[in-house]
Amino acid sequence: MTEPPQPPNQPPTPSGYGHLPGPPQQGYGYPQQGENPYAQQPAHGQQPYPQQPPTVPAYPAHGLQPPAPGASGMPPKKKLTLLVAAAVASLLVLGGVGYVTFGGDDGDPKEPVAQESGDAKPSGSPSVDKGDGSGPGGNQQTDLNAGRKQGEDKVLWLKTTKIDGPGAGVATKGQWVVGDTVAKTVGKTIKGYAVADGKEKWTITFPAEICGMTRRTTDDGKTVVMYADSPSATANCNQIRMVDLKTGKEGWSKEVAKESAFDMFIDPSLAMTGDVVTVNRLTRATAFRISTGEKIFGSPAEGCVPGAYAAGGGKLIGIATCNDPDMTVEVQDADPATGKKTWTYRLPKGWKVSRVYAVDPIVLHLTNASTKENSIVVLGPDGKQRTTLSGEGNFSTECSASHDDTLQGCATAVVDAGTLYLPTKADIGKANEIVAFDLATGKAKWRVPAGEGRTLEPLKAANGQLIAYRRAEPNMGGEVLSVPADGSTPTALLRHPSGLSAPIESSFYSPQVDYADGRFFISTSRLLAQDKDEKLLMVFGK
């Protein structure tokens, strides 16, 4: 394994090539066929979802490819061992998968054996049953816990819905767990359900389709969502509204004004930290105060102009396109109160920021579209490059079929104070693993395999301890695992039942997942909307 180069304030030029991505794997988001009506999806060829290839976004903008050679600041010609394949069209309608490729071999780590845990039972008050006849959690008529094996936990409830929508279906990407409420978007509505029993607590209806959101909330449970300015197919996604997810109350609403004549609301997204939310779009970004809706700052008119911000932990990181002949990209810190920068990190010509895995510490996934090479680098608080990651294996940086190509979306990567956790690519019928990388050295610290034929996905991490989801299979329930800081044997926090619930859990379309207060939440990112019962949200617990 080659020692990763660390040139001052510049990423190196990788010298190898990554593998092209393969199709998504069945058993996670892929429609499964079976006798359970809530687990069924239309057969191949009947999918209403648009069959368009997802792309790895080259922030800050589409169409801003730098011209060919001539810029200064080219990276040194040293070998880099961490590579990522550029995204290509997937053969399946369920979204694309990109892979990070390493070389070498660390040996075969031992397979983890999940153990019982004394995890405390979750809290959460049930809501008042409105008497809609649906029973706890929805309208299912089957006992999903029937035949539950010893040591397995429970399906607490399954929420289904029956709507009739357009041929492309209805987007349901948003999911938030706030206190004793889990909120879910469906088209132009957000509904809040009691986490304990799934009873509906409140509904917020927007004038048009919800078209942008962030999974983040304020400490008191508020968030901001974007919605279209009309119901028409040519509507602009330029309206924002603050909502209180604990109470279901609506706050302020406003239209996001253009920052310039070239400001286009193409694929807009939101980033939140503290009392600040930024509205990111093609070439500009605007920051607002969440509590009041007041505009704080917008992108500058000249120089290196941020088209997107990444946010978290009270910090903002701007990704800017510079008005130079090569349209180079610059990473900037930003004062959340003013937008002013104190340091910059200029990328070499042709390189862009594809993902921001974290802003404290700063972990960036850089891509070069022309060479199909990428690099994961760590910056210090002063914006200077600290390390470049290197290791062995093919690492999944998958985007779901919901095409979450936002700056902080898409990849199943988790970062804590000193570690980045990445899952390896899951080949059909083979186990993947999660690898922990030391951000101080850039090297792999440990690996935890999923077990025969299974797939592990990082969920969250703190104090060196990782929480991961072992995905369900059609005949086997999923699990929530706690991985110790040293990467030793994981402990099972939840073992989801097999039996009737496993084919449902394993067939959620491009699922959104959360683990909070001892419960696991999984929901779909799109409904077929063909006036038939469909699974929307499923919750597991003790």
- Sequential pLDDT tens for the chain (542 residues): 333 334 334 433 332 223 222 222 322 233 333 445 455 543 333 333 333 333 333 343 322 233 333 333 333 333 333 433 332 222 222 222 333 433 333 333 333 333 333 344 455 555 544 433 333 444 445 899 988 999 999 999 999 999 998 888 999 999 999 999 999 999 999 999 999 999 999 999 999 999 999 999 999 999 999 999 999 888 999 999 999 999 999 999 999 999 888 888 888 999 999 999 999 998 899 999 999 999 999 988 889 999 999 999 999 999 999 999 999 999 999 999 999 999 999 999 999 999 999 999 999 999 998 998 889 999 999 999 999 998 887 876 655 444 456 888 766 789 998 999 999 988 887 899 999 999 999 999 999 999 989 999 999 998 778 999 999 999 999 999 999 999 999 999 999 999 999 999 999 998 999 999 999 999 999 999 999 999 999 999 99
Confidence (pLDDT) at 117: 38
- Tell me, what's the pLDDT at 124? 57
**How does pLDDT run across 3-32, given as a tens digit for each residue?**
333 433 443 333 222 322 222 232 223 333
How many alpha carbons fall within 13 Å on the CB side of residue 306? 27
> Is the Cα dihedral 309, 54, 22, 12 positive or negative?
negative
Q: Give the pLDDT of residue 200.
A: 97
pLDDT of residue 66: 31
Does the pTM of the predicted model rise above 0.85? Answer: no
Strands 295-298 vs 344-346: parallel, antiparallel or unpaired: unpaired
Could you give the C-alpha distances from 406 to 153, 213, 411, 508, in angstroms and in order? 34, 10, 10, 21
Give the per-residue pLDDT at 310. Answer: 96
**What's the pLDDT tens digit per position in 494-538?**
999 999 999 999 999 989 999 999 999 999 999 999 999 999 999
User: Among residues 92, 89, 104, which one has the least CA distance to residue 2?
Assistant: 104
Alpha-carbon dihedral sign for residues 206, 207, 210, 216:
negative
pLDDT tens-digit series, residues 406-454 = 888 766 789 998 999 999 988 887 899 999 999 999 999 999 999 989 9
Separation between Cα atoms, residue 265 and residue 254, nearest integer Å:
15
Instruction: State the pLDDT at residue 139.
Output: 47
What phi and psi, each to the nearest 5 degrees, are found at residue 99?
Answer: -130, 140
